[in-house]
Amino acid sequence: MIVELQNLTKIFPSRNKNSDDEVVAVNDFTFTIPDGKLVGLLGPSGCGKSTTLYMICGLQKPTSGKIFFGEDDVTQLPAENRGVGLVFQNYALYPHMTVKQNILFPLQNLRGEDRLSKEEMLNRAYEVAKIVQIDELMERKPSELSGGQQQRVAIARALVKMPKVLLLDEPLSNLDARLRLQTREEIRRIQRATNITTVFVTHDQEEAMSISDMIVVMKLGIVQQIGKPQDVYNSPANLFVAKFLGTPPINVFDGRIKDGVVYIGNEAVGDARDVADQNVYVGIRPEGFILNDDGPFTCNLNAVEVMGRDVSVVATNEASINPVVRAIIDADNKIDHDRKTVNFFIKPNKMFLFNKETEERIYIVEDR
């Protein structure tokens, strides 16, 4: 099922009638979610990602704009008629019902032609339970399950009525780090197995990057960038997106462009051919540094953290906006911990320039 959002806007009126501090939760969101894909809505809290999800689901009505499921305009359709499955952040499993009863519940709601026989219902419930691997827990109560198991029950309950669209609200936020890693693979696997168009909301960029076919980065109700996770990471549209994606976060410096050369402080760190002279923000990904004594970029060395596979060089630079500069280099590099300064070459494809005022990306024409 293709889900199409057209100029979707949600405005929450202000509580106080006299003031007009209304909140624009989602502002003019247009996007077509391709059939059978897993899309992650990503952004810091209050960016409107959950509101978008609830509008797709039908629990909230958009102020303006339209939502299409395939050819059908569902904007005015109540949630129960949309055929969506929703997994809540805290799962909202009915605590007084067993796992089986929870999964059966949506099926028992069906009336008329859609209603299945008792046997069919049970078969369907067990089928779904097998997909999410909880078929051995069917007689337990939710309180007797671990967080990860509860989450799978919630997914099973959403899947059992064979929804056209599956929606997940912060599905991993209640899990511990280890389970989170495991469960996100699980979600990916389940989505692939069922091939249901899936939208999920998260504030964790790693989570979104790791399993989504596409991500939508939002900030204060406005879509910042839409694309494949790697594309967005490799080519952020603005400073916000660049900062939001990636762990450790991108290093940002005050810089300037003069005669087609990028300067941080007085050091020329890269080319910016055909870009007008101006002050800029220079963003450099942690993996964009090459340790070399001949390198043009000098930093004061603070610490070297060896983490097995690679080495994290923590340094300072006067032009850095972040308190420290963090560079990740291969563990094969040998660094003398006692030295005062380190020098780097900068990988051109890991360095981004942003306009000082608008914070929009300044693209460099590459013609090599």
Q: Which residues bind another protein (CB under 8 A)?
A: 57-59, 78-81, 84-86, 88, 90, 92, 94-97, 105-106, 108-111, 157, 161
Residue 157 or 326: which CB sits closer to another protein? 157
Closest alpha carbon to 156 in 173, 170, 137: 137
Spatial contact of 276 and 317, defined as CB atoms under 8 Å apart = no
Block residue for tokens 């603005």: 238
Cα separation, 125 vs 282, in Å, equals: 54
Residue 109 or 292: which CB sits closer to another protein? 109
Residue 27 or 173: which CB sits closer to another protein? 173
Closest separation in Å from C-beta 233 to another protein: 33
At 336 the three-state DSSP class reads: coil
At 76 the three-state DSSP class reads: coil
Residue 48 or 58: which CB sits closer to another protein? 58
Residue 96 or 339: which CB sits closer to another protein? 96
Radius of gyration of the chain (CA): 25
Burial class (CB within 10 angstroms; exposed 0-12, middle 13-18, buried 19+) of 189: middle
Closest separation in Å from C-beta 147 to another protein: 16
Cα separation, 342 vs 335, in Å, equals: 9
Closest separation in Å from C-beta 245 to another protein: 30
Closest alpha carbon to 243 in 279, 276, 219: 219
Closest separation in Å from C-beta 60 to another protein: 10
Closest separation in Å from C-beta 22 to another protein: 19
